[in-house]
Amino acid sequence: MKAPVESSKVILTILLSVLAVIAPITVGAQTDAQFSQYYAVKSYYNPAAAGCSSMLNVNLGSRLQWTGIPDAPKTFAALADMSLPLLDRRLGTGLVVRQESLGLYRGFIAALQLSYRIKLWGGELSVGLQGGMLEETFKGSEVVLPDDDDLHEGGDEAVPRTDISGSSVDIGAGVFYSSPRFWTGVSVAHVNSPSVTMTEGGDREWEYEAGRTFYFMAGGNIPVKNTLFEIQPSVLVKSDFTFTTGEVTARARYNKFVTVGVGYRYRDAVTFIIGAEYRNFYLTYSYDYATSAIAKASDGSHEIWAGYSVRLDFDRKNKYKHKSIRIM
């Protein structure tokens, strides 16, 4: 039974390598990386979630999708956010950087975020905007199309043979509400449906369009009475009105230290989660077991996030006064 599995891997590799060029509409739905730990990086999906605490938060993460399949998606992301005072209000600011590879395709996003926050119903309501750059690259110089069989055409002009790339302005927006026990938000990525044109030799062009994607997120933090446990359910739904999917996650945290959980992504995967927190540092890992046919060729998906938070106080009357060690 090994031969069919190897054949499936070869076919998937070929599809992943040329998908970004020959099927831009399909790939457009994949512009945003899939993170099973979406609840830990809310600002990646919603710019209004940036600066929702008084801390400076830094998050670094990596996802290896469908390990065991050559050239399967690999994603690295870095996020940072903090809040700044503005008169009697607070502004949230954020930074998002994401790099992803999928076969011979490379995608890169770098964006700044700004949110305006007001106190409401015991929590905070914020409206946020995101602006940045979307860059797309196809490694055409690495394309290999054999012409010695009946399944491939070695001279296919639909596939570029040199490295091509392009970039475009990318805009996002969202609304987010957070309180000590509940958070939720709606957002839209790629509001302007950025179109990236990649040119080869000055006469042949390929166009990549990142279609608008809508997100709904919600979650809670429910203490279990007379215990040190907290239950943390969450949900993420995303849609471009052509393709819609969603996932639910349930986590249990003990003594604000150890977290375990399980999630389910509709018709895609079951997720297992484990993490730990110590002071202002956290580290968490998740494993996705595919429930679709791709499980026959894949060993699953791995995702890891690490983060650190530090409290900032920009008030003029800072109760945490600092003295120079030279005059103490």
Query: In angstroms, rounded to a whole number, what is the distance separating the alpha carbons of residues 77 and 41?
Result: 10
Asked if 39 contacts 49 with a C-beta cutoff of 8 angstroms, the reply is no
Quote the radius of gyration of the chain (alpha carbons, Å): 22
**Does the structure show a pLDDT above 80 at 285?**
yes
pLDDT per residue as tens digits for the range 149-174:
565 555 666 677 788 899 999 999 99
Query: In angstroms, rounded to a whole number, what is the distance separating the alpha carbons of residues 304 and 300?
Result: 14
Which residue type sits at 225? Answer: K
Predicted local confidence at residue 96, as pLDDT? 98
Predicted local confidence at residue 150, as pLDDT? 60
CA atoms in the 13 A half-sphere facing the CB of 192: 14
Q: Give the number of residues written for the chain.
A: 328
Q: Which helix (H) or strand (E) holds 27?
A: helix 24-28
pLDDT per residue as tens digits for the range 69-113:
998 999 999 999 998 887 777 899 999 999 999 988 899 999 999
At 119, the pLDDT band (50, 70, 90 cuts) reads: confident
Q: How much is the pTM?
A: 0.82
Q: Which helix (H) or strand (E) holds 44?
A: helix 42-45
pLDDT per residue as tens digits for the range 30-57:
578 889 999 999 999 999 999 988 889 9
Asked if 84 contacts 51 with a C-beta cutoff of 8 angstroms, the reply is yes
